[in-house]
Structures are given as structure tokens and as C-alpha cells.
Amino acid sequence: MAESLCATVGLDLYLVDETGRGVVAFPDRPGLTMEQTYHYVADRDHLITVLADAGMLAVTARPAELRQAYTETTAAFAAREDAWLRDCGGGDAGAGIAGHKLHGDDAGGWWVTASECRAALATAATVDHRGVDAALVEFLARAAEYGGFRVWTTW
């Protein structure tokens, strides 16, 4: 039997505010700690399976590729990019985390919104967060209070 040459793909999850910018951790003064603003997932595929089994993941399609028009200002493109990164890919906005957002770090990192986090937690509450790591549930609850979180792939 051949062994896989690919390493397990992980995910870095960073808490963001309502504008999609990272929430700063202050280890030396009152506020959030690094552990509260960041969550590492060692195995993306396992996470996707667990979230789907718990009803926290929405089946979605990746939005069409985003390109900046030659005549478009940087500010206009940045606004379109933020909307693209929040896009739920045609899935049910109330069904939980859009599945396509856990598959890569296009542009500035997919933005899982606070409303997606709230929907995922509400759905999962009916099945007692079946198989979902308690630390991830805490991170999702915090993200639901802020602006959500951004996702980057790690290798």
C-alpha cells in the first residue's frame, strides 16, 4: 500500500472584528489573550467531517474568482474583496459555516462571519456539539460576539 506524500492540512483561525480586521491580543494588559484570539486546527479534513456530522457546516459552492478591474480603485476593490470573502456561496445563510471557507486562504483569508458562527452554534446545540472540540466551541462563541474569524491553510 502506498503512503501519502502529502502532509495533513491544518488551519489557522484568527478572531476578527466587525470590519474583518484581526482582534489584537494584549498579553501584558487587560483584554484578550492570544489563546482567545487564535485557534489552530491540526487536521482540516477531520474538522470538516466533525462539523458536518454536528450540523454546523453548510454545503456551499465557492464564489466565482475575484479579479480587480484595471479602472477600479484600490478602495473599491477592497470593499468587493471583503464581500467576496464573506460570501456564503449560495448556501443557506442560517445553516452554519459555509463549507468552502475551510478549503484555502485565497486573498486575505476566508471570512467566517459572526452570523455563521451563531448559526453553527445554534444548530449544534440541538446535538450537544457532537464530537466538536470544546476549545473550538469556545472560540466559535467568542467569534460570534465579535466579527467572526478568518481562515488560513497551514501545511
- List, for residues 74-123, the tens digit of each pLDDT value: 888 888 888 888 777 665 556 789 888 887 655 458 899 999 999 999 88
pLDDT value at position 22? 86
| Residue among 83, 100, 134, 94 nearest 117 (CA) | 94
pLDDT at residue 128 is higher than 50: yes
Q: Is 97 domain-assigned?
A: yes
Contact 31, 23 (CB under 8 A): no
Q: Is 31 domain-assigned?
A: yes
pLDDT value at position 27? 63
What cell does 69 get? 478591474
| Residue among 66, 48, 65, 46 nearest 57 (CA) | 48
Count up the domains in the chain and report the number.
Answer: 1
Q: Is 3 domain-assigned?
A: no
Q: Is 24 domain-assigned?
A: yes
pLDDT value at position 1? 44
Domain residues for the domain of 122 are 10-63+71-146
Q: Is 33 domain-assigned?
A: yes
- Which is higher by pLDDT, 28 or 13? 13
Q: Is 152 domain-assigned?
A: no
Q: How confident is the model at residue 28 (pLDDT cuts 50, 70, 90)?
A: low
- Report, as an integer, the average pLDDT of 124-137: 74
Encoded amino acid at 29, one letter:
R
Look-up of cell digits 501545511 = 155
pLDDT value at position 105? 54
- Model's pTM, two decimal places? 0.82
- Which is higher by pLDDT, 3 or 101? 101
Q: Is 137 domain-assigned?
A: yes
